[in-house]
């Protein structure tokens, strides 16, 4: 009987232990299922975020493509504007040149496009010589008259001698002065000598009206102007 009771108690213990083990297994299975669902949810969120990132990258690429196309269009428009501006400047310059050259005579193209001959190389002794040297000045020869030589040369010599010796003229002047002095000495003493009125005038200096520019002119009593009185109020000044 005791063995049967011991076996029954052991069986009940085993049953309780098995129940506890089954409960632990159920709890662990529930936790495992929960973790699996969380992992599945995380994987779905990651896939959604990846798809969003891919779509945003595609939209960025499309926006970058449109920006590059717009930049290319802008550069093309700027280049076309530059070419138009240069063409306008060239046309204005051509118009100006055509206006300036309107009066100038137009040469035929055959004359303008003549081929120029090659420049000749000068020799060694002609390197420093100018291209158009000044011709030597020719000395003019005297005209020879159909007369014997002695008759032509003599009067020319006399004229040259007169020109080249100007000291002969003062001698004549000196002779003239000596003759004048002798004539003055032969005159009587009462007669005043010549040119006396220049240095020693006969009239006294205070009677000459203005004998020198430094001295004040002394007027004689009959040459004095009439006295001018101060004009009264309302009286006109006579300027006679």
Q: What is the pLDDT of residues 200-240, one digit of tens each?
A: 556 666 676 654 555 566 677 787 777 777 777 777 766 65
How many residues can be counted in the chain? 240
pLDDT (0 to 100) of residue 167: 57
Inter-residue contact 218 to 206 (CB < 8 Å): yes
Inter-residue contact 87 to 94 (CB < 8 Å): no
How far apart, in Å, are the Cα atoms of 221 and each of 174, 213, 228, 240?
49, 21, 16, 20
CB atoms within 10 A of CB 6: 10
More confident residue, 40 or 212: 40
Give yes or no for residue 86 having a pLDDT over 90: yes
Is the Cα torsion angle 166, 168, 169, 171 positive or negative in sign?
A: positive
- What is the biggest distance separating any 2 CA atoms in the chain, rounded to whole angstroms? 221
pLDDT (0 to 100) of residue 161: 55
More confident residue, 24 or 196: 24
């Amino acid at each position: 009987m005791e063995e049967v009771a011991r076996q029954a108690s052991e069986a009940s213990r085993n049953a309780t232990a098995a129940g506890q083990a089954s409960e632990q297994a159920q709890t662990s299975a529930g936790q495992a299922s929960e973790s699996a669902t969380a992992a599945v949810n995380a994987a779905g969120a990651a896939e959604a975020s990846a798809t969003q990132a891919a779509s945003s990258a595609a939209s960025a690429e499309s926006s970058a493509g449109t920006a590059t196309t717009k930049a290319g269009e802008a550069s093309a428009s700027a280049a076309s504007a530059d070419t138009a501006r240069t063409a306008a400047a060239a046309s204005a310059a051509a118009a100006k040149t055509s206006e300036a050259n309107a009066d100038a005579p137009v040469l035929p193209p055959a004359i303008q496009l003549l081929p120029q001959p090659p420049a000749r190389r000068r020799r060694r002794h002609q390197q420093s010589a100018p291209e158009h040297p000044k011709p030597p000045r020719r000395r003019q020869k005297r005209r020879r008259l159909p007369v014997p030589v002695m008759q032509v040369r003599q009067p020319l010599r006399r004229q040259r001698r007169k020109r080249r010796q100007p000291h002969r003229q003062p001698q004549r002047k000196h002779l003239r002065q000596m003759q004048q002095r002798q004539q003055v000495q032969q005159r009587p003493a009462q007669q005043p000598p010549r040119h006396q009125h220049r240095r020693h005038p006969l009239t006294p200096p205070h009677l000459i009206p203005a004998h020198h520019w430094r001295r004040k002119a002394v007027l004689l009593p009959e040459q004095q102007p009439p006295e001018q009185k101060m004009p009264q109020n309302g009286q006109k000044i006579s300027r006679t």
